[in-house]
């Protein structure tokens, strides 16, 4: 596609439920990143995928958070047993191998945990 | 803790004026980037400056980098109402892989 896409745009869930957020990176981009942005804050790194290498999960805040990337393309971020503090905008970005500095961001998924 | 910190936190100017935002960081970097975000959604990449560069221009944007002071500035000249957005600096920290570390941002409001 022309850009990074994410779905859903908005998600409202109840505390304790699991949610899945999806990211479709730009075709041909081998690097994919997930960030979280709480209200009025900067972006917080969560996880990074690069090709077939093991992902860098150093930013995941707890073991309730996990992500996978299938076939080197689409990625899913899963939050289990959601908590109210998980409410944020979750942003995905991708970049092209060899030009990894410029990251192209999707529109984000706004998650609200009630 | 956040690597980049922007100041001011908020800036309000009249259309046509110049807007200057500053960013400070703490550790050695490979490069520093500026992004714009409208309405709390996706970020748009504006400009990247490498650690061996001191100044870079792109249209109405001018970015400077002072690695001795670990600081950068973003200047938007002849501002327009459409420039109203949040602006973030992000650093590609040495030895930290390809993760970007973002500051909390500057909210710019351009009044017409």
Pairing state between β A10-13 and A109-113? parallel
Q: What confidence score (pLDDT) does residue B97 get? A: 62
- Domain extent for B42: 5-111
Instruction: Name the least confident of A7-16, A41-50, B80-89.
Output: A41-50
Q: How far is the CA of A46 from the CAs of A42, A83, B51, B56, in angstroms? A: 13, 17, 25, 30
Mutate: best of B41, B93, B103, B106, partner A, most A CBs <10 A:
B41
H or E stretch at A59 = none
Q: Where on the phi/psi map is residue B56: left (φ > 0), alpha (ψ -120 to 50), or beta? A: beta
Who among A43, A89, A104 is closest to B45 (CB)? A104
Q: Residue A105 is part of a domain; what is its CATH number?
A: 2.60.40.10
pLDDT band at A15 (very low <50, low <70, confident <90, very high): very high
Distance separating alpha carbons of residues A78 and B60, to the nearest angstrom: 40
Q: Residue B1 has what pLDDT?
A: 38
What chain B residue is nearest to A39 in terms of C-alpha separation? B40
Of the candidates A31, A40, A44, which has its C-beta nearest B98's C-beta?
Answer: A31
What is the pLDDT, as a whole number, of residue B5? 78
Residue among A44, A91, A100 whose CB faces B42 most closely: A91
A106 within 8 A of A37, measured Cβ to Cβ: no
**pLDDT tens for residues B37-88?**
987 678 999 999 999 999 999 999 999 999 999 999 999 999 999 999 999 9
> Which residues are within 8 A (CB) of A73 and not within 5 positions of it... i.e. 6 or more apart?
A24, A25, A27
pLDDT surpassing 80 at residue A97: no
Q: Count up the domains in chain B and report the number.
A: 1
Whether residue B59 lies within 8 A of chain A, CB to CB, comes out as no
Higher pLDDT, A55 or B17: B17
Count of structural domains, chain A:
1
pLDDT at position B3 over 70: no
Structure tokens at A74: 């689409």
The CATH code of the domain that includes B58 is 2.60.40.10
pLDDT over 60 (residue B92): yes
> A67 pLDDT exceeds 60?
yes
A98 lies in which domain range?
5-113
Element (H, E) at B77: none
pLDDT averaged over chain B? 89
- B97/A48 CB distance under 8 A: yes
Cross-chain Cβ contact A59/B99 below 8 Å: yes
Average pLDDT over residues B31-42: 86
Report the Cα–Cα distance between both ends of chain A, in Å, rounded. 33
Separation of alpha carbons A92 and A97, rounded Å: 16
Among A86, A94, A42, A31, residue whose Cα is nearest residue A61: A86
Q: Which residues in chain A are closer than 8 Å to B31, comparing Cβ atoms?
A: 101
Residues of A in contact with B104 (CB under 8 A): 40-42
Q: For residues B5-26, b (16+ Cβ closer than 10 Å) or e, as one string? A: bbeeeebebeeeeebebbbbbe
């Amino acid at each position: 596609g022309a850009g990074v896409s994410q779905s859903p745009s908005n998600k409202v869930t109840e505390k304790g439920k699991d949610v899945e957020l999806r990211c479709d990176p730009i075709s041909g981009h081998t690097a994919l990143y997930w960030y979280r942005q709480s209200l009025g804050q900067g972006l917080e790194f969560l996880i990074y995928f690069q090709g077939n290498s093991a992902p860098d999960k150093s930013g995941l805040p707890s073991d309730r958070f996990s992500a996978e990337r299938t076939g080197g393309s689409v990625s899913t971020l899963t939050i289990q047993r959601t908590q109210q503090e998980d409410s944020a905008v979750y942003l995905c970005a991708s970049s092209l191998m060899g030009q990894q500095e410029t990251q192209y961001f999707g529109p984000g998924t706004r998650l609200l945990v009630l | 803790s956040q690597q980049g910190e922007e100041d001011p936190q908020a800036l309000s100017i009249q259309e046509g004026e110049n807007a200057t935002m500053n960013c400070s960081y703490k550790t050695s970097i490979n490069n520093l980037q500026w992004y714009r975000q409208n309405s709390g959604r996706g970020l748009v990449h504006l400009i990247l400056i490498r650690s061996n560069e001191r100044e870079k221009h792109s249209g109405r944007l001018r970015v400077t980098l002072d690695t001795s002071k670990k600081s950068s500035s973003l200047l938007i000249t002849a501002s327009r109402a459409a420039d109203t957005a949040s602006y973030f600096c992000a650093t590609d920290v040495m030895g930290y892989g390809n993760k970007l570390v973002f500051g909390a941002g500057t909210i710019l409001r351009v009044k017409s």
